[in-house]
Structure 1
Amino acid sequence: MTCYLLREGVIDDIKSQARSYWWSGKQNTRGWAMVAWDKICRSKKFGGMGFRDLSLFNVALLGNQIWRLIQDEHSLVFKVLKAKYFLRSSFFEAKLGARYSYAWASLMKAKEVLNDGFF
Structure 2
Amino acid sequence: MSRSGKELLVKSVAQTLPAYAMNVFLLPNKINNDIEKALTKFWWNSNPNQKSKINWMSWTRMEKHKSAGGMGFRNFRDFNIAMLGKQAWRLITNPSTLVARLYKAKYYATSDFLQAKLGHNPSFIWWIILEAKNLLLDGVRWRVGNEKSIKILDQPWLLLTDHPYITSDSQALQD
Question: What is residue 71 of structure 2 aligned with on the other side?
Answer: 49
AA partner of residue 10 (structure 1): I
| 2:49 aligned with 1:13 | no
* Runs (5+) with no aligned partner, structure 2: 1-21, 140-175
Q: Which has the higher helix share?
A: 1
| 2:108 aligned with 1:108 | no
| RMSD of Structure 2 on Structure 1 (CA) | 2.0
Q: Which has the higher Rg, Structure 1 or Structure 2?
A: 2
Q: Is the 8 A contact 2:85 2:135 kept in 1?
A: no
Q: How many residue pairs are counted as aligned between the two chains?
A: 115
C-alpha deviation, 1:43, in angstroms? 0.3
Q: 1:2 aligns with which of 17, 23, 28?
A: 23
* TM-score of the superposed pair, with normalisation by structure 2: 0.59
RCO (CA 8 Å, sep 6+): is it higher in 1 or 2? 1
Question: What is residue 39 of structure 1 aligned with on the other side?
Answer: 61
Q: Is the 8 A contact 2:64 2:70 kept in 1?
A: yes
Q: Is the 8 A contact 2:32 2:77 kept in 1?
A: yes
Identity, % of aligned positions: 38
* Runs (5+) with no aligned partner, structure 1: none
Q: Is the 8 A contact 2:108 2:117 kept in 1?
A: yes
